[in-house]
């Protein structure tokens, strides 16, 4: 049985994260960058070579974790399209960020997923750990240590708890999945017709 947890927990509707505004369409420009000291939820995704992608969740979008998600696989789609989740009657596509950017997936039979947004603009990504609240500090735009696969979607990072948290532009990444556009240039076209 799948269970959900909204951030912050306890509300009946998926609430916005601290400092959140209205939901934005996945095809719009990224939300403004966060200010140091602003609390943000963050996730840490294991990536190849034992590293982790430490990503701040979008401040302008409601976010919800679904434990033991039941995904409906879709045939003849790229490996990064993990399937579709039925979330209270709304079909939410699940995109495997690690598989798409790094070519490696660690799929589980009943993964936990993080749903970003609501309604028609919602999407989900598989996650290995629960989101945590971080009070971000010391913004920097020196991205020389960031994995090259993540660079097109990161403007800057913030330090918190001895970890560098990347201000990852999830909407820009989803837009890239279907258009191939990254920051105004075309990198590649992706089709849902086979791998």
Whether the Cβ atoms of residue 65 and residue 127 lie closer than 8 Å to each other: yes
57: in domain: yes
Q: Which residues pair with 186 in a beta bridge?
A: 181
Q: Does residue 78 form part of some domain?
A: yes
Q: What is the largest CA-CA distance in the chain?
A: 45
Per-residue confidence (pLDDT) for residue 91, from 0 to 100: 94
pLDDT for the residue numbered 3: 57
At residue 54, the 3 state secondary structure works out as strand
**Sign (positive or negative) of CA dihedral 134, 155, 127, 57:** positive
Task: Spell out, as residue ranges, where the chain has pLDDT lower than 70.
Answer: 1-37, 105-110, 180-195
Residue 27 lies in a domain: no
Domain coverage including residue 182 = 3-21+38-186
Question: Whole-angstrom Cα distance, residue 138 to residue 34?
Answer: 11
- Whole-structure pTM value: 0.72
Q: Answer whether residue 69 is part of any domain.
A: yes
114: DSSP letter = E
Domain contains 30: no
| pLDDT tens column, 107-149 | 666 689 999 999 888 999 999 888 988 887 777 777 887 888 9
pLDDT the model gives residue 140:
78
Query: In the chain, how many domains are there?
Result: 1
The CATH number of whichever domain residue 90 belongs to comes to 2.40.50.180
């Amino acid at each position: 049985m799948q269970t959900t947890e909204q951030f912050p927990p306890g509300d009946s509707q998926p609430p916005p994260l601290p400092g959140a505004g209205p939901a934005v369409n996945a095809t719009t420009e990224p939300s403004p960058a966060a200010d140091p000291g602003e609390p943000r939820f963050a996730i840490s995704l294991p990536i190849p070579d034992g590293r982790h992608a430490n990503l701040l969740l979008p401040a302008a979008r409601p976010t919800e974790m679904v434990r033991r998600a039941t995904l409906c696989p879709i045939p003849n789609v790229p490996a990064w399209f993990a399937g579709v989740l039925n979330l209270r009657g709304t079909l939410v596509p699940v995109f495997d960020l690690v598989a798409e950017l790094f070519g490696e997936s660690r799929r589980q039979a009943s993964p936990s997923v993080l749903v970003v947004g609501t309604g028609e603009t919602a999407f989900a990504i598989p996650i290995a750990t629960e989101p945590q609240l971080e009070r971000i500090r010391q913004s920097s735009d020196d991205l020389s240590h960031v994995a090259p696969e993540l660079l097109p979607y990161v403007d800057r990072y913030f330090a918190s708890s001895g970890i560098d948290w990347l201000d990852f532009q999830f909407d820009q990444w989803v837009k890239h999945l279907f258009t191939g556009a990254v920051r105004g240039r075309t990198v590649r076209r992706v089709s849902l017709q086979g791998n």
